[in-house]
């Protein structure tokens, strides 16, 4: 039984299990550096993996070796998809260097056994069923949501071995990470967002990691992706991987921009205004860029963003070859090969054409004729030359005009943010990545058990399933609790937390372990009461807007595990308060005006009562002879008069005060995504009065801050509670101590 529970908990870890095969290290290409060999072996063992390594760290050789070994294992060809002109680089440079034959293909008819490479634009000419593996070079192409990304994802869906390789993805672009996970078949992007992220405020386009999800998000990411900026990030030597100096020189040319209807110069603010200003300053910027490029007899990369800039630069720069997006593939490939061989001295193009994937370390000088607002495009263009393996200082000249506003400041800000966030990502992932690569052992999640007790009460810090399992059979008189529900990382990151279930079925399987133990420890004929409510279904998490029958799920679970459905009470709640608190679409007055077909009732609370079959040997009696009245929250609950019985027996309770709760502020952790919602003391008192005697043992497996225990002790019952979260447990201990003091006679112990 214990093994079964622990095995189940292991399935709740949000990791992607390996689906590949092991490779004898001796069979890896000896020309790989040790860190490259470790990553390649890991990627093959994973089966579907991402390698996010900074430029010059050898993604090409790692992809080639991965493809070679996968092709040999599956006895099917492997296809590497690459940006334009990078295909030839694989075939002419990388492949021969590592002794791996590479066939450049334009269609399935060109494919050969082993390793094949094709441009992304040729994807429609291939058939996935004929492939043993698929690799995406410069996989940042998956970043957007256009048709090509979807086509690549759909194409690879049925291929067992998949690899995505790129420089470190944009650290603040979680969509790019989600798209990679979807391409690799790890998890859908929508599932990733629902599991680890939350909206802040009303902006549904801005996501942030849930506080308690941070460690688990990085652990999940490291189960299928390796991210490094340098070999030492994962414990290897950086020898040979130190970048040369990077010299960035800014040149600002004067430019007056005429704006109809305005007497004075203006600073363009929006994207359209900056583009207009850029066009009007083109002649001055092109002249300055040409002066810079013509001043030194060396290979030059000249970057532009507009076709007019490209044409003007071609006329102004000596010995220049222009490559435009509209040019045929052959011209683009020949231009790059000519630049690499030296027959082309100065290459003019856009970052969108040649800014990704190419190794151009023979060149150490480049000039930008203005900047776009894309930091990624600028960064990638610079990294064509400034990369590991470059032997010279790299000189980058950036020419802008006074009329272009804050574009330079904007790029610098994005650069600072990217550097900081990339360092944070590597820092978060480093230790876990080492564990995944087998460089050190994985650290198990901490689990601690501690007991605090006083006169008539005990609160255990621990897992309610495991603690209940240690309790004596037929030992509990009455159990009352409010269960959690599937709401990942709301209050903790422990897999033992039932709320940390990525869907309702996982929660149900976890909850069954507890219900079975509750049946065992409950005395025959006695009651387990559950405080619950139905749950709203959300579009982003459930795929629809509506309600989920959590109440019904609980009833079915208890019935299937031996309990009898004893009774239920519907507890009225003010729909206006719910609408104000949750902003639920179905309760908004504007929705009533727009389309009342989407309007719904407020969500009430329920107290469900389940009875264990058998005869109750200790009747819960309320003799008429009791005349002393303490009130509903008194030591014994007071006399159950006829009038009071009518309120208790009503199927709908309208007199519950939801404001009558313990103070939960002190127990809330800074990473909690929601406020703690303690049970109403009115509900607990009514359950205790109805279904327990003074001196009975009352149990709450989800103790929280001790609301059940607080009320039980004051009403003269014994209490046992279990709580998984330490801050809640500590607050519960204080509350139980307070209840113990309040229940003592004023002059106890006096002579």
Is 421 part of a structural domain of the chain?
no
Instruction: Look up residue 158 and give its DSSP letter.
Output: T
Task: Provide mean pLDDT across the span 253-269.
Answer: 55
Residues 211 and 82 in one domain: yes
pLDDT at 430 over 80: no
Q: With residue 633 as reference, give the H or E element that holds it.
A: none
| Three-class secondary structure of residue 588 per DSSP | coil
| 118-125: average pLDDT | 92
Among candidates 437, 416, 434, 521, which has minimal Cα distance to 479? Answer: 521
User: Are residues 548 and 464 located together in one domain of the fold?
Assistant: yes
The CATH number that applies at residue 268 is 3.40.50.300
Q: Is the pLDDT of residue 751 over 50?
A: no
> What mean pLDDT comes out for the span 120-130?
93
Q: What is the pTM of this model?
A: 0.66
Least confident of 496-500, 581-585, 629-633, 666-670: 629-633
509 and 642: one domain? yes
Residue 437 placed within a domain = no
Residues 629 and 533 in one domain: yes
Taking 90 as the threshold, does the pLDDT of residue 693 lie above it?
A: yes
CATH code: domain of residue 146: 3.40.50.10810
Average pLDDT over residues 334-362: 88
658 has a pLDDT exceeding 80: yes
Helices (H), 47-125: 59-74, 86-89, 95-97
pLDDT of res. 595: 81
Which domain does 351 fall in, by range?
246-405
Q: Which of 405, 438, 465 is the last residue of a domain?
A: 405
Q: Give pLDDT, residue 380.
A: 83
Q: What is the structure's pLDDT at 750?
A: 38
pLDDT at 520: 98
CA–CA distance, 314 with 286 (Å, rounded to integer):
10
Average pLDDT of the residues of the chain: 84
With vertex at residue 577, the alpha carbon angle to CA 576 and CA 582, rounded to the nearest 5 degrees, is 100
Lowest mean pLDDT among 246-260, 363-377, 498-512: 246-260
Between these two residues, 354 and 322, which has the higher pLDDT value?
Answer: 322
* Lowest mean pLDDT segment, chosen from 77-81, 515-519, 677-681, 685-689: 677-681
414 in a structural domain: no
Q: Please report the pLDDT score of residue 670 as a whole number.
A: 59
Q: Which DSSP category does 93 fall into?
A: I
Say if strands 346-349 and 320-322 run parallel, antiparallel, or are unpaired. Answer: parallel
Going from the C-alpha of 593 to that of each of 309, 574, 582, 598, the distances in angstroms are 54, 21, 19, 10
Closest CA to 407 of 325, 305, 317: 305
Whether residues 56 and 112 share a domain: the answer is yes
Last residue of a domain, one of 234, 254, 276: 234
Separation of alpha carbons 209 and 213, rounded Å: 6
Q: Please check whether residues 79 and 100 belong to one and the same domain.
A: yes
* Stronger pLDDT, 282 or 479, i.e. the higher one: 479
**What is the greatest pairwise CA distance in the chain?**
110
In a domain, residue 686? The reply is: yes
pLDDT of residue 262: 46
Q: Of 390, 405, 420, which residue is a domain's last?
A: 405
Domains identified in the chain, total number: 3
Q: 575: how many CB neighbours lie within 10 A of its CB?
A: 16
Model pLDDT for residues 32-67, shown as the tens digit of each residue: 999 999 999 999 999 999 998 888 888 999 999 999
Within a domain: 461? yes
| Coil/strand/helix, residue 393 | coil
- pLDDT tens digits, one per residue of 694-739: 999 999 999 999 999 999 999 999 999 999 999 899 999 999 999 8
State whether residue 162 is helix, strand or coil.
Answer: strand
Same domain as 259, residue 292: yes
Residues 159, 225 share a domain = yes
741 CB contacts (<8 Å, ≥6 apart)? none
- Least Cα distance to 383 among 97, 164, 101, 55 occurs for 55
**Within-domain flag for 412:** no
Beta bridge partners of 528: 479, 610
Same domain, 132 and 85: yes
Are the CB atoms for 126 and 156 separated by under 8 Å? no
Does a structural domain hold residue 356? Answer: yes
Q: Are residues 172 and 109 in the same domain?
A: yes
pLDDT at 745: 54
Got the DSSP string for 439-508?
SSPPPPPP---EEEEETTEEEEES-HHHHHHTSPTT-EEEEEE----S-TTSS---TT-TT--SSHHHHH
Greater pLDDT, 397 or 145: 397
Please measure the distance between the N-terminal and C-terminal CA atoms of the chain and give it in whole angstroms: 54
By CB atoms closer than 10 A (0-12, 13-18, 19+), residue 4 is exposed
**Same domain (yes/no): 24, 89:** yes
Pairwise CA distance, residues 134 & 127, whole Å: 11
Identify whether residues 183 and 331 lie together within a single domain: no
Predicted confidence (pLDDT) per residue in 189-241, tens digit: 888 887 888 876 545 456 788 877 777 888 888 889 888 888 888 888 888 77
Check which CATH number belongs to the domain holding 731 and give it.
Answer: 3.40.50.150
Determine the pLDDT at residue 196.
84
Residue 425 lies in a domain: no
Backbone dihedral angles phi then psi of residue 97, each to the nearest 5 degrees: -60, -35
* pLDDT, tens digit, 9 for 90 and up, residues 58-107: 899 999 999 999 999 999 999 999 987 788 888 888 899 999 999 999 99
What pLDDT, in 10s, does the model give residues 412-427? 777 777 676 667 667 7
Name the residue with higher pLDDT: 353 or 155.
155
């Amino acid at each position: 039984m214990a093994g079964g529970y622990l095995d189940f908990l292991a399935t709740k870890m949000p990791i992607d299990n390996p689906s590949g095969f092991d490779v004898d290290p001796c069979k890896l290409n000896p020309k790989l550096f040790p860190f490259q060999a470790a990553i390649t072996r890991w990627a093959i063992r994973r089966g579907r993996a991402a390698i996010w390594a900074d430029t010059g760290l050898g993604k090409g050789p790692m992809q080639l070796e991965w493809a070679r070994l996968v092709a040999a294992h599956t006895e099917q060809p492997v296809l590497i998809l690459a940006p334009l002109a990078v295909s030839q680089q694989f075939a002419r440079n990388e492949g021969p260097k590592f002794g791996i034959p590479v066939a450049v293909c334009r269609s399935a008819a060109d494919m050969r056994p082993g390793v094949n490479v094709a441009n992304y634009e040729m994807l429609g000419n291939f058939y996935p069923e004929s492939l043993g593996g698929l690799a995406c070079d410069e996989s940042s192409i998956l970043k957007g949501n256009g048709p090509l990304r979807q086509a690549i994802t759909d194409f690879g869906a049925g291929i067992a071995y998949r690899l995505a390789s790129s420089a470190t993805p944009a650290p603040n672009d979680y969509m790019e990470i989600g798209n990679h996970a979807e391409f690799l078949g790890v998890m859908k992007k929508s599932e990733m967002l629902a599991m680890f992220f939350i909206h802040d405020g009303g902006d549904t386009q801005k996501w942030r990691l849930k506080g308690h999800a941070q460690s688990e998000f990085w652990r999940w990411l490291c189960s299928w992706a390796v991210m490094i900026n340098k070999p030492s990030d994962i414990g290897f030597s950086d020898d040979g991987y130190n970048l040369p100096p990077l010299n960035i020189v800014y040149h600002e040319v004067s430019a007056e921009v005429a704006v109809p209807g305005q007497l004075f110069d203006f600073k363009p603010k929006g994207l359209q205004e900056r583009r207009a200003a850029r066009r009007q300053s083109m002649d001055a910027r092109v002249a300055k860029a040409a002066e810079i490029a013509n001043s030194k007899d060396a290979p030059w990369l000249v970057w532009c963003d507009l076709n007019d800039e490209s044409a003007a630069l071609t006329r102004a720069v000596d010995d220049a070859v222009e490559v435009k997006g509209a040019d045929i593939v052959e011209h683009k490939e020949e231009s790059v090969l000519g630049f690499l061989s030296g027959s082309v001295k100065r290459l003019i193009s856009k970052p969108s054409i040649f800014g990704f994937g190419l190794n151009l370390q023979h060149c150490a000088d480049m000039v930008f004729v203005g900047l776009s607002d894309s930091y990624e495009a600028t960064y990638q263009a610079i990294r064509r030359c400034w990369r590991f393996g470059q032997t010279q200082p790299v000189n980058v000249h950036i020419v802008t005009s006074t009329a272009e506003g804050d574009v330079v400041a904007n790029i610098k800000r994005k650069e600072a943010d990217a550097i900081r966030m990339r360092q944070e990502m590597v820092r978060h992932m480093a230790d876990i990545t080492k564990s995944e690569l087998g460089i050190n052992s994985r650290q198990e999640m901490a689990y601690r058990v501690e007991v605090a007790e006083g006169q008539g009460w005990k609160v255990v810090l621990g897992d309610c399933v495991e603690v209940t399992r240690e309790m004596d059979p037929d030992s509990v008189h009455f159990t009352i609790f409010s269960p959690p529900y599937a709401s990942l990382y709301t209050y903790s990151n422990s897999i033992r937390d039932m709320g940390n279930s990525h869907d309702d079925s996982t929660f149900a399987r976890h909850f069954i372990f507890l219900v079975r133990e509750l049946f065992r420890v409950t005395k025959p004929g006695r009651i387990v009461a559950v405080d619950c409510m139905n749950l709203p279904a959300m579009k982003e998490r459930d795929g629809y807007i509506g309600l989920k029958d959590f109440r019904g799920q609980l009833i079915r679970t208890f019935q299937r595990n031996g309990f009898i459905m004893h009774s239920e009470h519907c507890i009225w709640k003010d729909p206006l308060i719910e609408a104000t608190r949750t902003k639920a679409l179905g309760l908004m007055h504007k929705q009533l005006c727009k389309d009342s077909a989407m309007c719904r009732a407020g969500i009430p609370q329920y107290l469900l009562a389940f009875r264990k079959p058998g005869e109750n040997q200790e009747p819960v009696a309320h003799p008429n002879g009791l005349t002393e009245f303490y009130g509903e929250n008194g030591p014994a609950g007071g006399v159950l008069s006829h009038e009071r019985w009518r309120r208790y027996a009503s199927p709908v309770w309208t007199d519950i005060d939801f404001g009558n709760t313990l103070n939960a502020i002190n127990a809330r952790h800074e990473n909690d995504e929601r406020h703690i919602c303690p049970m109403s003391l009115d509900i607990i008192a009514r359950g205790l009065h109805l279904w327990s005697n003074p001196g009975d043992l009352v149990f709450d497996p989800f103790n929280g801050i001790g609301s059940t225990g607080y009320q039980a002790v004051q009403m003269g019952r014994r209490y046992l509670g279990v709580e998984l979260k330490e801050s809640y447990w500590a607050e519960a201990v204080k509350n139980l101590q307070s209840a113990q003091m309040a229940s003592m006679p004023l002059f106890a112990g006096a002579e």
